[in-house]
């Protein structure tokens, strides 16, 4: 049974004419990891926030279905959201430093979170989780102000606090982007291990394909607020179909000295109101792409929202 | 308010703290700074009082006095001595708390001031408490629910309050309210003798509360309504709007979202996490307002014939009562510096990153 099921999710921020997210659909089974990739502004964070009821006030959210662990997230009270965030879905955000109130000692902030869930043995369990994620001296770390600790330490604490109530789903929005590369690798390793240890389902959001390919079982590729391609990781990243996914993969710098092909940059406001969002940057563009929204075409384990891309792919295969 | 602006608003010894530390050293520095500022204020007012083309001896002697009498008064007041000697004498007097005599009331200025102080403090404490409490509360509400009827109302209050000069607000209230509502007195403060209340603190409100006489308490409150409304209406705009912008800025910070994501309840996120950071600029601003308040109550006290330091200063100015003018100036300056260094201490408690 799937843990998370999202159908046709659309989000408008307050006062915006065009949606930040349009018609996104995906699902996730228990114990699996979903990677969400896409360039800046493609709507990755918006997906995460929508799943936690954390969209800023004034934002409008529509969907034909959002279910998380049997809860219908479309019809849910504020209290129920609180309850869910305390027990079912936890978050780790991009900037560890900004995730903590700069003027309060970490211990009291952590206690606020634990108290919210209201379980008595939480603090001692947190201490052991902290040790598990590599904080050798939890007491000293929690006795500090955020500015006294490194980004890596703070992100470990964020992860520990997120996991202490054993949530079914952890949503990590660019958890390593703000860290330097050695720390990045350590944090990814921790997430990788915890996934199996804690039987955790994970949504990992990143614009870094290596992060996603390392952790994710399935991938959702986003562009301009749409999901353009979805499927098993090896299918999507190994044999990409959508021209955007292909461009994304080709633009990744490679160690072996292969030349990378830069992805043409997107100009501001370039995304059209109608037709394929990627059309203006696409080398497979056809007349119809500019007029009609591409329909998702089933492909392997997932789908691709691009007719010409699918044709090209089949030709290359045969 | 940006950080740099805040820095330039900081008055006091805080900037030197990088070079040496320790609470005692800080305290000594604060004291030294206070002395320097007060000395500068004393010197400046002293110079001003001597260069202004008015002759205090002439004023003190009275209109009918002949040249001989004026000369006598000049000698009595020590005004015939060289200015430097006068200055040294004045400083010498200050050290023992002697501000000289008032040429108007013919008593030591310090006595006049001590008599007037409770009335002013009553106005300042009550109005400041309301400005701070109400302003912060309304600012939070405004930031959290930025849309709706209340926000229109708050905006009108903020604009009207800050745009209308204090004397205008006071006069409007007198003409519009007090003239039509018998219960509200147009002017004047609590009369201890009339209500048979002992003068213990000198503040009508406190003394009537101590006497536990209901009619006296009501009278004391009745007297306060208009002057307090005037001060609060004019000054709350700044607190309210600053609190609102500071709070809505904090509410958009990632740490607020992160706390929500950790399941912390909305009320705690707002009143503990965001509020703490949002208060910083507001506390600084309130400190400045409180520092100015001794000067700020002058107009209100004059309009409402409130017998405090402000009214005293006003009368002193009219009579060119130079000793009284200097005393009020010195006290206003000293209280400003003192309050600001206190506020800087609070500021540091609120934000641990400031060392
Ligand atoms: N609070 C907001 N108000 C209005 N528009 C917003 C808001 N937050 C995001 N957006 C817009 O929504 C779109 C999607 O933003 P989102 O943050 O989800 O992208 P992202 O994929 O997470 O990007 P990044 O990699 O930069 O984090 C963008 O066009 C962005 O400008
Ligand atoms: Mg993002």
HEC readout, A144-176: CCHHHCCHHHHHHHHHHHHHCCCCCEEEEECCC
- Phi/psi at B345 (5° precision): -70, -45
Pocket test for ligand 1, best of A21, A37, A41 (most atoms within 8 A of CB): A41
Distance (Å, rounded) from C-alpha A248 to C-alpha A242? 10
Question: Cβ–Cβ of B276/A78 closer than 8 Å?
Answer: no
Atom 5 of ligand 1, nearest CA residue? A13
Measured in angstroms, how far is the CA atom of residue B79 from the centroid of ligand 1?
75
Question: Which residue's entry shows tokens 């403090």?
Answer: B121
Greater model confidence, B226 or A256: B226
Taking contacts as CB-CB distances below 8 angstroms, the residues of chain A near B251 are none
A42 CA closest ligand 1 atom index: 21
> Measured between CA atoms, how close is A112 to chain B, in angstroms?
6
Give the closest of A82, A99, A103 to B258, CB-based. A99
**Element containing residue B238 per DSSP (H, E):** helix B214-251
Among A68-72, A114-118, A181-185, B188-192, the range scoring the smallest mean pLDDT is: A114-118
- Mean pLDDT for the stretch of residues A203-224: 92
**Element containing residue B161 per DSSP (H, E):** helix B149-163
- Residue B66: both structure tokens together: 């002949």
Measured in angstroms, how far is the CA atom of residue A24 from the centroid of ligand 1?
15
Measured in angstroms, how far is the CA atom of residue A43 from the centroid of ligand 1?
6
Closest residue of chain B to A173, computed from CA coordinates: B258
Measured in angstroms, how far is the CA atom of residue B104 from the centroid of ligand 1?
70
DSSP annotation of B101 reads B
Measured in angstroms, how far is the CA atom of residue A237 from the centroid of ligand 2?
21
Contact A205, A195 (CB under 8 A): no
- Residue A301: both structure tokens together: 């384990």
Measured in angstroms, how far is the CA atom of residue A42 from the centroid of ligand 2?
8
Distance (Å, rounded) from C-alpha B147 to C-alpha B137? 16
Rounded to two decimals, the pTM is: 0.82
By residue count, chain B amounts to 355
Cα–Cα nearest to A2, from A87, A84, A69: A69
List b or e across A274-303, with b for residues whose CB sees 16 or more CB atoms inside 10 angstroms: ebbbbbbbbebbeeebeeeebebeebeebb
Greater model confidence, A201 or B9: A201
- Identify the band that residue B179 occupies on the pLDDT scale cut at 50, 70 and 90: confident
List b or e across B334-347, with b for residues whose CB sees 16 or more CB atoms inside 10 angstroms: bbbbbbbbebbeeb
- Identify the band that residue B12 occupies on the pLDDT scale cut at 50, 70 and 90: very low
Question: Cβ–Cβ of B261/A116 closer than 8 Å?
Answer: no
B354 pLDDT more than 70:
no
Q: Give the count of alpha carbons within 13 A of B96, CB side only.
A: 7
**Structural domains for chain B:** 12-95 (no CATH), 109-350 (1.10.3720.10)
Q: Is the CB of A56 under 6 A from ligand 1?
A: yes
> Measured between CA atoms, how close is B109 to chain A, in angstroms?
47
- Mean pLDDT for the stretch of residues B116-128: 94
> Measured between CA atoms, how close is B11 to chain A, in angstroms?
23
Contact A159, A187 (CB under 8 A): yes
pLDDT at residue B223, as a whole number: 92
B201 pLDDT more than 50:
yes
Pocket test for ligand 1, best of A18, A19, A42, A55 (most atoms within 8 A of CB): A42
B6 pLDDT more than 70:
no
Instruction: Give 3-state DSSP helix, strand, coil % of chain B, rounded to 5.
Output: 75, 0, 25
Question: Cβ–Cβ of A116/B262 closer than 8 Å?
Answer: yes
In tens, the pLDDT along A242-272 reads 999 998 888 876 655 555 666 666 554 555 5
Distance (Å, rounded) from C-alpha B247 to C-alpha B239? 12
Distance (Å, rounded) from C-alpha A142 to C-alpha A144? 5
- Identify the band that residue B9 occupies on the pLDDT scale cut at 50, 70 and 90: very low
Pocket test for ligand 1, best of A10, A16, A46 (most atoms within 8 A of CB): A46
Give the closest of B252, B257, B276 to A103, CB-based. B276
Distance (Å, rounded) from C-alpha B172 to C-alpha B201? 31
Contact A227, A37 (CB under 8 A): no
pLDDT at residue B284, as a whole number: 87
In tens, the pLDDT along B304-323 reads 999 999 999 999 988 888 89
A176 pLDDT more than 50:
yes
Q: Is A205 helix (H, G, I), strand (E, B) or coil?
A: strand
pLDDT at residue A262, as a whole number: 64
Kindly list the strands in the beta sheet with A218-223, ordered across the sheet, starting from the edge strand earlier in the chain. Answer: A89-92, A169-173, A201-205, A33-37, A218-223, A226-232, A302-304, A297-299
Residue B142 burial (CB < 10 Å; 0-12/13-18/19+)? Answer: buried
- Residue B99: both structure tokens together: 């501000």
Q: Is the CB of A46 under 6 A from ligand 1?
A: yes
For A37, A174, A227, B153, B254, the CA distances from A43, given in Å and listed in that order, are: 10, 13, 9, 37, 17
Q: Is the CB of A15 under 6 A from ligand 1?
A: no
pLDDT at residue A273, as a whole number: 67
A100 pLDDT more than 70:
yes
Atom 3 of ligand 1, nearest CA residue? A13
pLDDT at residue A259, as a whole number: 58
B13 pLDDT more than 60:
no
Whether residue A137 lies within 8 A of chain B, CB to CB, comes out as: no
- Mean pLDDT for the stretch of residues B59-82: 84
Distance (Å, rounded) from C-alpha B137 to C-alpha B267? 14
In tens, the pLDDT along A117-171 reads 766 668 888 999 999 999 999 999 999 999 999 999 999 999 999 998 889 999 9
pLDDT at residue A282, as a whole number: 85
Q: Is the CB of A19 under 6 A from ligand 1?
A: no
Find the ligand nearest to A60 CA. Answer: 1
């Amino acid at each position: 049974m799937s843990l998370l099921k999202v159908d046709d999710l659309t989000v408008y921020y307050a006062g915006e004419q065009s949606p930040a997210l349009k018609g996104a659909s995906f699902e996730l089974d228990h114990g699996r990891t979903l990677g969400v990739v896409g360039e800046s502004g493609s709507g990755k964070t918006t997906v995460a926030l929508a799943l936690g009821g954390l969209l800023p006030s004034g934002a409008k959210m529509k969907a034909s279905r959002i279910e998380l662990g049997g809860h219908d997230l479309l019809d849910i009270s504020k209290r129920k959201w609180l309850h869910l965030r305390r027990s079912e879905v936890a978050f780790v955000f991009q900037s560890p430093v900004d995730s903590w109130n700069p003027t309060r000692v970490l211990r009291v902030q952590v206690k606020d979170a634990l108290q919210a869930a209201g379980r008595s043995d939480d603090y001692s369990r947190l201490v052991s989780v902290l040790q598990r994620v590599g904080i050798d001296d939890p007491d000293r770390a929690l006795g500090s102000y955020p500015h006294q600790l490194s980004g890596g330490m703070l992100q470990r604490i964020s992860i520990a606090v997120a996991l202490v109530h054993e949530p079914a789903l952890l949503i990590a929005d660019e958890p390593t982007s703000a860290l330097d590369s050695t720390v990045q690798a350590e944090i990814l390793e921790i997430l990788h291990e915890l996934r199996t240890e804690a039987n955790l389902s994970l949504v990992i959001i990143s614009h870094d394909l290596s992060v996603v390919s390392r952790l994710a079982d399935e991938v959702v590729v986003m562009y301009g607020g749409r999901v353009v391609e979805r499927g098993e990781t090896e299918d999507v990243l190994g044999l990409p179909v959508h021209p955007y996914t292909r461009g994304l993969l080709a633009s990744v710098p490679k160690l072996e000295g292969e030349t990378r092909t830069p992805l043409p940059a997107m100009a501001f406001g370039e995304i059209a109101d109608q037709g394929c969002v990627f059309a203006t940057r696409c080398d497979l563009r056809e007349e119809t792409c500019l007029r009609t929204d591409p329909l998702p075409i089933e492909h392997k384990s997932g789908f691709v929202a691009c007719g010409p891309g699918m044709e090209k792919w089949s030709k290359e295969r045969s | 308010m940006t950080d740099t602006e805040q820095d330039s608003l900081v008055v006091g010894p805080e900037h030197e703290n990088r070079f040496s530390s320790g609470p005692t050293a800080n305290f000594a520095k604060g004291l030294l700074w206070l002395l320097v500022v007060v000395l500068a204020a004393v010197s400046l007012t002293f110079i001003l009082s001597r260069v202004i083309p008015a002759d205090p001896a002439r004023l003190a002697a009275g209109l009918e006095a002949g040249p001989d009498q004026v000369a006598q008064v000049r000698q009595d007041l020590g005004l015939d001595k060289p200015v430097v000697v006068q200055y040294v004498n004045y400083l010498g007097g200050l050290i023992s708390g002697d501000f000289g005599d008032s040429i108007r009331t013919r008593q030591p200025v310090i006595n006049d001031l001590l008599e007037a102080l409770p009335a002013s403090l009553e106005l300042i404490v009550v109005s400041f408490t309301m400005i701070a409490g109400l302003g912060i509360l309304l600012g939070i509400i405004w930031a959290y629910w930025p849309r709706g009827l209340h926000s229109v109302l708050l905006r009108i209050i903020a604009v009207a309050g800050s745009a209308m000069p204090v004397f205008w607000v006071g006069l409007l209230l007198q003409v519009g309210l007090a003239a039509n509502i018998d219960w509200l007195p147009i002017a004047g403060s609590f009369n201890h003798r009339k209500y048979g209340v002992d003068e213990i603190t000198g503040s009508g409100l406190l003394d009537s509360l101590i006497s536990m006489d209901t009619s006296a308490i009501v009278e004391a409150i009745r007297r306060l309504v208009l002057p307090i409304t005037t001060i609060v209406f004019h000054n709350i705009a700044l607190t309210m709007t600053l609190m609102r912008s500071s709070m809505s800025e904090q509410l958009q910070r990632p740490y607020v979202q992160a706390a929500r994501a950790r399941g912390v309840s909305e009320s705690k996120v707002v009143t503990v996490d965001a509020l703490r950071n949002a208060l910083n600029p507001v506390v600084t601003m309130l400190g400045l307002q409180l520092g100015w308040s001794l000067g700020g109550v002058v107009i209100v006290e004059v309009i409402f014939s409130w017998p405090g330091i402000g009214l005293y200063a006003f009368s002193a100015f009219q009579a060119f009562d130079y000793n009284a003018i200097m005393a009020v100036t010195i006290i206003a300056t000293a209280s400003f510096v003192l309050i600001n260094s206190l506020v800087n201490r609070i500021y540091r408690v609120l934000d641990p990153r400031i060392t």
